[in-house]
Structure 1
Amino acid sequence: MLRVDGVRLPARRLRPEGAAAGAPVLVFLHEGLGSIGLWKDYPEALCRATGLPGLVYERRGHGSADALAGWPRPVGYLEHEAEHVLPRVLDAAGIGACVLVGHSDGGSIALLYAALRPAGLRGAITEAAHVFVEDVTLAGILAARTAFVHGDLRPKLARWHGRNTDGVFWGWNATWTEPAFTRWDMTDRLGAIRCPLLVMQGAGDEYGTPRQVDAICAGSGGPATPRLVPDCGHVPHHQARPAVLTAMTAAVADWTGGTGRR
Structure 2
Amino acid sequence: MEVDSIDSSSVKVTKVTKMTKVKEGKPKAPEENPWKKRPLHVPDYAQAALEHLCKVDPALAPLIAKYPYTIYSDHDTNYFRVLSRTIIGQQVHWKAARSIIFKFVSHYVPGITLDSLDSGDKRFPTPKQVLSTPMDQLRSCGLSERKASYIQDLALHFSEGKITFASDKAELQALKDEELAAQLLCVRGIGPWTVDMFMMDTLERLDILPTLDLGIRKGMEKHFRKDYKNGVWGTMIESLEEGKTKKGGGKGKGSAKKGEMSCSDMERMAEIWRPYRSIASWYMWRNADDTDTISAPI
- TM-score, scaled relative to structure 1: 0.24
Q: Counting helix residues as a fraction of each chain, which structure ranks higher?
A: 2
